[in-house]
Amino acid sequence: MCGIWALFGSDECLSVQCLSAMKIAHRGPDAFRFENVNGFTNCCFGFHRLAVVDQLYGMQPIRVKKFPYLWLCYNGEIYNFKQLQKQFGFDYQTLVDGEVILHLYNRGGIEQTASMLDGVFAFILLDTANRKVFLARDTYGVRPLFKALTDDGFLGVCSEAKGLINLKHSTSLCSKVEPFLPGHYEVLDLKPSGKVASVELVKFHSCKDEPLHVACDTVEALPSGFDLETVKSNIRILFENAVRKRLMAHRRIGCLLSGGLDSSLVAAVLLKLMKEININYPLQTFAIGMENSPDLLAARKVAAHIGSEHHEVILNTEEGIQAIEEVIFSLETYDITTIRASIGMYLVSKYIRKKTDSVVIFSGEGSDELTQGYIYFHKAPSPEEAAEESERLLKELYLFDVLRADRTTAAHGLELRVPFLDHRFTSYYLSLPAELRIPKNGIEKYLLRLSFEDSNLLPKEILWRPKEAFSDGIASVKKSWFSILQDYIDQQVDDLSLEKAAEKYPFNPPKTKESYYYRQIFEKHYSGRSSWLPHYWMPRWVNATDPSARTLKHYKSATQE
């Protein structure tokens, strides 16, 4: 996890502009560099480093003697950099996984580069010899990237929008700041003036397509066919491979553990693989919740079963409420369910940073979207429509769960790893017949659970535990976290303000006091930027007015069982 920032064609003094780069300092607490581009006095790179791989030579922008005309600023992890080196005979000068981007680009251009990277990434690549700038972002947008491009060719790029919104240009602020689309790369011409012109924006990978880099994966061709035993075996092999490749780190590895299926599977497989490769420290797992909340109790069970060094963070209501504003500032969104779920994740990340030495944090994001884990999937009209919804959710992850997971951990200088969003694992799962992937016998994620049933990785009651939204699971069964938030917010927003909400906020108008309260805070920090969120996250097929799972009829709490 790092923070990247770059400007091309700045009219203003760079020493003033670089103050904006300090807005993302939290992403890289280990070191900072600010570097001008030779021959282009109005172009520069800024980099905040979290040293996870190659602690000696990992500073950026990365430049190597072999390609003196290439400048690379990137945030991410490329898991197949050693396999690519072997396949193409690359001569690396550093141990930095991202160096492979320079070699791939030199060998086959930007299209091949982006398509052959197995990992998560956002990067800015400058080729001064051919006067080109390239931007690219991984398939699911696990690593964030924002850009601002003015009509006259001034370009700003940053890991988070907060590093761009105050840039000065021709006596005015840069107006349009927008997220860079996941699974895309952009080619821009660099003019002698340092300004740029966009040439093309290309989608290089779709979540359903098997990625090109499968050709040099450590797991070779899998058995084909859709008989259940073959499918279950392939799911186990690919998921284990997804976790294994993410063990690449020179810093301590930990794991978030809510006690739900997804984080529990990640933690169990992670610990098993750490033992296999003789990592000589215990795996630290982390859970957050109110006293005796469902998540805390379930996570305790899992930790005892797998044998992790388990940490519990007790959430008190006041602390959660006090964190709302800093969470919204970190997130750069006003989406209701994202904010609710982020408060717990933000506070547990704060604990990890302050009280432990774990830096690389595994988590279960992406599973609900991929394996149809949301409770409303029980109401899908057909398996085909459920499959379409699953793909839609995956495409929008960068606006919701992936955004939450990145910002809440990066705010505290942690690096997130999400094996469920492995390119090969997801493309295989999405290739399965729609009928196989739907909830069965009243249980969501049925196929995923079934695949691990005989593995003894988890206790049966955890493997088959019903879905619990993170923002609800951290609260007590009697009163959910979202209703606690609503009680507090009811006192903060009056009825008249809510009545006039559509006048004040015509785009995505708040419909509840809670959403109004979040929107007010968002506008305080990011005034006029409401288009960053195209729509609120909301369940489908159920006429829901609130995104919480606890408001859906299918929801089962421990008191009802």
Q: Which residues are part of a known binding site for ATP?
A: 256, 288, 363-364
- Please tell me which residue in 2, 43, 44, 174 is annotated as part of the active site: 2
Who contacts 82 (Cβ-Cβ below 8 Å, separation ≥6)?
Answer: none
Find tokens 């799962």 and name the residue: 429
Q: DSSP secondary structure string, 53-72?
A: S-TTT--SSEEETTEEEEEE
Residue 51 contacts residue 252 (beta carbons within 8 Å):
no
With both helix axes pointing from N to C terminus, report the angle between 513-525 and 336-355 in degrees, rounded to the nearest 10.
60
Find tokens 């609260």 and name the residue: 475
Q: Please enumerate, by residue number, every residue annotated as part of a binding site.
A: 97, 256, 288, 363-364
Find tokens 């601002």 and name the residue: 148
Q: Which of 65, 360, 43 is nearest to 191 (CA)?
A: 43
Q: Using alpha carbons, list the distances in angstroms from residue 382 to 53, 356, 379.
A: 45, 47, 9
Helix/strand/coil for 450:
helix
Q: Give the span between the Cα atoms of 356 and 341, in whole angstroms.
A: 22
Helix/strand/coil for 474:
coil
Q: Give the span between the Cα atoms of 446 and 439, in whole angstroms.
A: 6
Q: Please enumerate, by residue number, every residue annotated as part of a binding site for L-glutamine.
A: 97
Helix/strand/coil for 549:
helix
Helix/strand/coil for 510:
coil
Query: Please, is 420 exposed, middle or buried when counting C-beta atoms within 10 Å of its C-beta (0-12, 13-18, 19+)?
Result: buried
Query: Please, is 103 exposed, middle or buried when counting C-beta atoms within 10 Å of its C-beta (0-12, 13-18, 19+)?
Result: buried
- Which tokens is 183 given? 């699974």
Q: Give the span between the Cα atoms of 224 and 242, in whole angstroms.
A: 19
DSSP state of 441: T
Query: Please, is 224 exposed, middle or buried when counting C-beta atoms within 10 Å of its C-beta (0-12, 13-18, 19+)?
Result: exposed
Who contacts 451 (Cβ-Cβ below 8 Å, separation ≥6)?
Answer: 231, 232, 235, 236
How many Cβ atoms sit within 10 Å of the Cβ of residue 100? 23
Dmax over Cα atoms in the chain, in whole Å? Answer: 70
Q: What are phi and psi of 146, to 5 degrees?
A: -125, 155
β-sheet bridge partners, residue 178? 147
Residue 158 contacts residue 5 (beta carbons within 8 Å):
yes
Long-range contacts of 551-560 (CB under 8 A, 24+ apart): 552/375, 552/376, 554/375, 554/378, 554/379, 554/442, 555/375, 555/466, 556/466, 557/294, 557/477, 558/294, 558/477, 559/477, 559/478
Q: Is 2 marked active-site?
A: yes
Catalytic residues: 2
